[in-house]
Structure 1
């Protein structure tokens, strides 16, 4: 019997999905919906999921737990100078134009090339020629059209990577209000997925801040009830602005509540999430010594047996000590992530 083809009809394209380091399994889980159109490599560099893909490129822009997506084109040339040759240069421009056609006119206005030796004479000329051919201006630090040039990861030659969107996927259109230390949209989505969302959930976002976790959970699907609470009126105003921008005002409630004294019944919540203060941009370690135990106990009171509590914190030793002192929460999993050089943990807890 003949073997079934790996892909449906179509030529596979090399794609790299960029993730927050540590969240690769969550992104891979989200990518299962692409089915046989995507063949993911079992392993890749930290924060990168390489794959061969035969589906519509635009579908990749719907990934919510990924940071960015790049299409990769290999050029069998010994040096970047050869990319200025007619055949290779036209192939580069064609790839760029295919990406641009995925978006409305005017979505891209500037071009930026990231590469070792980007200021060399050869790459300076390459950038100038690409700008001339595409009609885009040259970005000085960043650009809507982000290109990366590197030596081929396997074999010989050079690889051009073109980001499929003018901005990182983690940049959310609903974020009209931002707060210092606000959670990255892709990380918030990953945390919402780790709460094992269900349409019957009574969902609580403690210390909702700018509303990232609440919004990303609601964008996954319906809930029976969704609440975001914060003790800071300014934070609630920010959450309200973002919730309205996301078109979700009718699906949730925002409350001025103390997370350590919640006006909720015992065992009334099915899923709880929180981005706890690290003591870096928000709060302090001394304050956390009082806040964390009180918050864990109050969350345990309002959580039903089996409920998940997904929280992010850099206070790893404090959290481990507090969990060891309690029999109300079981540690389901612990995920170490990289947030701009900080390495907080996502604690996935389950109510005993």
Structure 2
């Protein structure tokens, strides 16, 4: 591993809990720390019905993954515990995911899981076991700052960067967490696993949303909230009613294919008006966004967030995990934490995360992030034809 755990004391006198998902990354972390002499304890969270996921590729924290984590623990000779967090995961992640979609948003459940389950409850468990740190297989890193606290940084391998999903990690959590894989790439991790004889060396990576086995979010939401999915209208930005739909959960902002209506020109989903059950469509230009209003902001910068004021600071921002950071300005005005994207972005939706960085490259510091509550689009209707999730969030 490229970076130290930065823990006082000798490894053999230092307990470290490793969050073992059953995948290759966390397995390598546990194996390497054990080889370094740390008193390693592996913990796996059972987050949803393990029976349904036993034979599914890309699952996480269920079924075969629990068995794989246990087998790795036996191979490297460390104790391993499985904790049943199904009820907590259902309440804090799955139910909130469904409610957010029904409100016309596009949520990021992996960030919610890290915030409310993995780095909250599991961290507490690690402390109760007498651990000096909780280590995970995420591809990010942390390092001491001049203040004595720890900072969160992007990894050296930007193709594996998971910082977008970890923006909500609080400072207290960050001080206790360690991310040993931030200095290596995925190929090197798999090679280490092979060298150590771990059976999961060539195992598939887990998919982004572990509890959506089909990849169709609407199926999960209809099962969880069958009475909440109602039909409505598909309406053009100019006010024309173009057709009907079976529920706004079948649409996402920025969607082009499968809208179900045609007027001889390309149409995109521009907004979802949950209150009126309307899907608002229009040309691609209407999707351009430059200013975002945020809620539930987690700030990891050195100065207080409120001190930014309306002038703000220059940052680099990401509004999707698959996009590179772009130049932006972060400021506080009118009671809102806001981000102004210098180059703009198409298809940004409420519910997504906006994450801030000091720079665009590898190993740059993560300054925090928040949930997008309101999106300003210059082409949005002004006569009350569509309030949408964005306007509703501002009320």
Question: Shared fold (TM-score greater than 0.5)?
Answer: no
Normalised-by-shorter TM-score class:
under 0.3
Structure 1-normalised TM-score? 0.26
Q: Which has the higher contact order (CA 8 A, sep 6+)?
A: 2
Structure 2-normalised TM-score? 0.24
